[in-house]
Amino acid sequence: MQRRPLTALPADKVLVAPSILAADFGRLAEEISGVEAAGAELLHIDVMDGHFVPNLSIGPPVVQSIRTVSALPFDVHLMLADPGRYAEAFIAAGADHITIHVESEGDLAAILEQIRSSGCSSGITLRPGTPASALDPYLNLVDMVLVMTVEPGFGGQSFMADQIPKIRHIARALEELDHPVHLEVDGGLDAQTAPLVVEAGANVLVAGSSVFRNPAGISEAVRRLRS
């Protein structure tokens, strides 16, 4: 399978990753074409197990289906208690990038290596209450760090501005590494909050509600996020 890992994209440019969690699932292919036409660089796919977070969302069959309608890199965010059990299924379904939570169970270093050895890029993320230092053992094993600016589980929540110092701190730590690492932010991003996280050092912006539910339309929403 042809992969489009995030290592192929510049880590010093702002990239937009619409989250399909906020899309109209009855018109999913159309919604994805809309963000592709709007110039989004990635498609963010939120995977929830009803256990690590109190919500259920998308499984491998959906990823496999939308793979046939989109050439965008698929940025898969696993909110799973046991990511090692499912990573392979998402890789087989057509993921290009997989992010796992540092609070998950299992040998996380081995899972990150498995993701990379499949040709995907790898990422690690943390809940708002988890300190940045929890990521330290994994920074050399990832191509992206994701900072959550809402409690994972649901779209449409308010941006947590108290996470900005953490974004700034992680951005500095990533500069010290000898490989480029993307810094993604997820939760409550819109035209007002996106500039705050870019200023703090983030380069990948996840946005669900502000893209798919924007009265101004998808293209205008993506443009406003970027500017």
What is the sign of the dihedral through the CA atoms of 183, 191, 221 and 129?
positive
Q: How are strands ordered across the β-sheet holding 204-207?
A: 15-18, 204-207, 182-186, 144-148, 121-126, 97-101, 74-79, 43-48
**46 contributes a contact to Zn ion by CB under 5 A:** yes
Token reading at 5: 């890992």
Q: Which of the following is catalytic: 49, 75, 143, 186?
A: 186
> In which element (H, E) is residue 220 found?
helix 218-226
Q: How far is the CB of 37 from Zn ion (least distance, A)?
A: 22
Q: Which of residues 120-179 bind ligand DX5 (CB under 6 A)?
A: 150, 152-153, 155-157
Query: Would you say 70 or 209 has its CB closer to ligand DX5?
Result: 209
Interhelix angle 60-67/28-37, nearest 10 degrees: 60
Q: Which stretch binds Zn ion (CB under 5 A): 33-41, 75-83, 88-96, 169-177?
A: 75-83
- Phi/psi of residue 40, nearest 5 degrees: -60, 145
> In which element (H, E) is residue 198 found?
helix 194-199
Token reading at 214: 């924007």
Q: How far is the CB of 57 from ligand DX5 (least distance, A)?
A: 9
The yes-or-no answer on residue 143 being catalytic is no
> Would you say 123 and 76 are in contact if contact means Cβ atoms under 8 Å apart?
no
**186 contributes a contact to ligand DX5 by CB under 6 A:** yes
Give the residue nearest to ligand DX5 (CB). Answer: 208
| Residue count, binding to ligand DX5 (CB under 6 A) | 21
Task: Sketch the per residue contact string, 160 through 199, with Zn ion: x for CB under 5 A, - otherwise.
Answer: --------------------------x-------------
**22 contributes a contact to ligand DX5 by CB under 6 A:** yes
Residue from 5, 18, 53, 77 binding Zn ion (CB under 5 A): 77
- Binding residues for ligand DX5, rule: CB under 6 A, are 19, 21-22, 44, 46, 77, 150, 152-153, 155-157, 186-189, 206-210
